[in-house]
Amino acid sequence: SQTIHQWPATLVQPVGSPLSLECTVEGTSNPNLYWYRQAAGRGLQLLFYSIGIDQISSEVPQNLSASRPQDRQFILSSKKLLLSDSGFYLCAWSRPGNQPQHFGDGTRLSIL
């Protein structure tokens, strides 16, 4: 069966510090991968999605970036965090095509 791992679960970072959130998927190959951000009490905002290695699309201009160094690994990064980067970050995967998405447990990021 397929599983998705996302870490860390919580993170507190000072303004201006770098960020690296990691997501890995097991039990499937060539998944579509997604990063979302969720503000408190709100819906999900798609940040990045990837249909393959070196195929990453950015949905929202910001100081975040994403990379996919391996088929089942998706990393969300920032060189300098802003206060507005606080939120709940969710990674998800799906099979190619119009398929359901499967989510990790999320990372709660607080910027001080």
Nearest CA among 100, 79, 82, 92 for reference residue 36: 92
Q: Is 101 in the site for another protein (CB under 8 A)?
A: yes
Nearest CA among 52, 55, 45, 58 for reference residue 89: 45
Distance CA(53)–CA(44), nearest Å, equals 24
Phi, psi of 2 (to 5 degrees): -90, 145
The contact pattern for another protein, residues 59-98, with x = CB under 8 A and - = no contact, is x----------------------------x-x-x-x-xxx
Q: Is 32 in the site for another protein (CB under 8 A)?
A: yes
Nearest CA among 38, 74, 37, 29 for reference residue 56: 74
Q: Which stretch binds another protein (CB under 8 A): 11-19, 40-48, 62-70, 72-80?
A: 40-48
Nearer to another protein, 42 or 79 (CB): 42
Which residues make up the interface to another protein (CB under 8 A)?
Answer: 6, 32, 34, 41-44, 46, 49, 51, 59, 88, 90, 92, 94, 96-106, 108
